[in-house]
Amino acid sequence: MNRFSCAAAVAALGCALPLAAQSRASNTAQIRRAADSISEAHIRRWVNALADDSMLGRATPSPQIEQTARYIADEFRLMGLEPGGDSGTFFQRYPILRTALDSASFAMVLGRGAHGHWAFGREARLLGGSEPAAAVTGPVVLMYGAPADTARPFGDATVNGAVILYVTTAGQVNPRTFGPVIAKAGPAGVRGLIVVTDRAPNVFANAAAFSLRPRTELGGRRQEGGFPIVEVRDSSALGVLSAAGEDLAALRAQGQSGIRPLAGFTATVDMRRREVERQSAPNVVGVLPGSDPALRNEYVFYTGHMDHVGAVGAGRVNVGCRAAGADSICNGADDDASGTALVMALARGFSQLTPRPRRTMVFMTVSGEERGLWGSRYYSDNPIFPLANTVAAFNTDMVGRYFNNQPGWRDTIAVIGKEHSDLGALANRVVQEHPELHMQLVDDLWPNENFYFRSDHYNFARKGVPILFFFNGVHPDYHQATDSPDKIDAEKMMRIGRMIFYIGLDVGNAAGRPQWNLESRRRIVEAGGVSTP
């Protein structure tokens, strides 16, 4: 066989590369074309549409969030995505209830001839915690003062199954003093807290009446074992404390904390809600099935929240949003039309790829994030695709601006959660392999803000799914009418989108699944996020 130069043969016949090399080159070119289809023009068009004044800030629930969902579903359909929602649609709907606390609700302490019965809206008000589905009852443990040891606010006292009657002051009901008690009460098995304060009568009366007003909440959330925190005034608790041989003024005057059981006393908290109105809201779910028969029943998720806080005075969700002159619409271009547009861009990118990734790609835009992560909470409690087979979730929220408008953030993105699984190492590797993206990744720069718990990825993480959260940080336009589309850097978003595409493609094709770091899994999944990641 004659040996010849490939260069000499090119002009006549071309050079036949080995088949494996041809395949790799072809795949690389196809991947690059798919990534390049994530374009600045598409991103800008989608952000402009989602954050248009006609959307009135996309409150949940509202006609505008329905309009937003239909728009995204239409775009998914044009891309060739399959519907992943209810009954063959792109929509997963979840219930929203408008409820009011019934005035028949009460807190009660009985013992030694004393009968403290306090009606909600008059002598009692809900201060916090969660509402139980049924009445909670338990023996009474008396606590007073600010605990010196915040790590062990109950000391050696047995509080499991008890209702704590906590004598304090209105001024001490604050995160620094009261927070450790709340944080440790649930894990310690406390069934409820009845807090006795010296709050001014008129202030308390207004707050108690306000607690009876209807509120909007995600349906189906009240559960057995809820942990209520109730406030009553000194005058309501005096009879019970006197019957127990306790002096209210002396308890406050001691200047130190104490805790002891009130033998012979039991407490009950019975909270009854009546339904005022029933509504619903949508999540949008589009699917690209995987190409590998062995892996197509495993799923990689891409999420962003399509809702915002509405308009000042109409469908308003967040009281922090203020009008800017005549502009009363809180457009939410960065929060989170930007992240929603990236989910759409990623869907477009993967839809252009042949062959498809081995695992199934799921693109979900959720509503209700600004209400308290409603849409993702509902999905994670009612998953369409098994969470045990959901191998990773990538969440994009506020990815179109710079942290505090700092120009140095043009090539920087915070990736929260990198340290909790090997997805962090993968993200670092992708950035190194794609210098053309000019992206610098930083870890969570704001751990005290608890951003890990404040966007939709958390509802996947708490169920055991490894996540990465892409986030540019906040800025002066956060939750303001000035968060407008003209301030979005679509070119930076394009580069972020391509980076996530490469990360997701690796996960979609890898033989193995991403793995949690064991300590992170213990804290976030098994301990329910009690310790801040």
Does residue 488 come out as left (phi exceeding 0), alpha (psi in the -120 to 50 range) or beta?
A: beta
Is the model's pLDDT at 4 over the cut of 80? no
Domain boundary among 236, 271, 306: 271
Question: Which residues on adjacent β-strands are paired with residue 260?
Answer: 142
Query: Which pLDDT does position 151 carry in this prediction?
Result: 87
Domain annotation covers residue 8: no
* Distances in whole angstroms, Cα of residue 102 to Cα of each of 110, 280, 441: 22, 23, 50
63 token code pair? 């006609």
Residue 374 and residue 159: Cα distance in Å, rounded?
A: 32
Q: Which residue has the higher pLDDT, 507 or 531?
A: 507
Query: Which pLDDT does position 19 carry in this prediction?
Result: 45
Give pLDDT tens digits for 142-161: 999 888 888 899 999 999 99
Residues 237 and 129 in one domain: yes
Whether 346 contacts 392, CB under 8 Å: no
Residues 261 and 284 in one domain: no
Query: Which pLDDT does position 119 carry in this prediction?
Result: 95
Residues 36 and 176 in one domain: no
Query: Which pLDDT does position 15 carry in this prediction?
Result: 39
CATH classification at residue 324: 3.40.630.10
Cis check: omega of the bond before 61, within 30 degrees of 0: yes
Domain boundary among 224, 243, 271: 271
Residues 324 and 401 in one domain: yes
Sign for the pseudo-dihedral over CA of 55, 60, 65, 69: positive
Burial class (CB in 10 A: 0-12, 13-18, 19+), 451: buried
Residues 341 and 387 in one domain: yes
Average pLDDT value for residue range 74-82: 99
Residues 79 and 190 in one domain: no
Whether 103 contacts 120, CB under 8 Å: yes
Q: How many structural domains are present in the chain?
A: 2
Is the model's pLDDT at 40 over the cut of 60? yes
**What DSSP string runs through 481-508?**
TT--GGG--HHHHHHHHHHHHHHHHHHH
Minimum mean pLDDT range among 124-133, 443-452, 468-477, 513-522: 124-133
Q: Where are the beta strands (DSSP E) in 131-187?
A: 136-144, 163-167
Residues 378 and 346 in one domain: yes
Domain annotation covers residue 185: yes
Give pLDDT tens digits for 319-377: 578 888 888 999 999 999 999 999 999 999 999 999 999 999 999 999 999 999 999 99
235 token code pair? 């005058």
Query: Which pLDDT does position 13 carry in this prediction?
Result: 34
Q: Which domain holds residue 292?
A: 31-98+278-526
Average pLDDT value for residue range 455-472: 97
Residues 212 and 240 in one domain: yes
Domain boundary among 208, 242, 271: 271
Query: Which pLDDT does position 16 carry in this prediction?
Result: 45
Residue 475 and residue 312: Cα distance in Å, rounded?
A: 20
Residues 196 and 343 in one domain: no
Q: What is the pTM of this model?
A: 0.83
Residues 368 and 407 in one domain: yes
Residues 231 and 340 in one domain: no
Is the model's pLDDT at 128 over the cut of 90? no
Domain annotation covers residue 348: yes
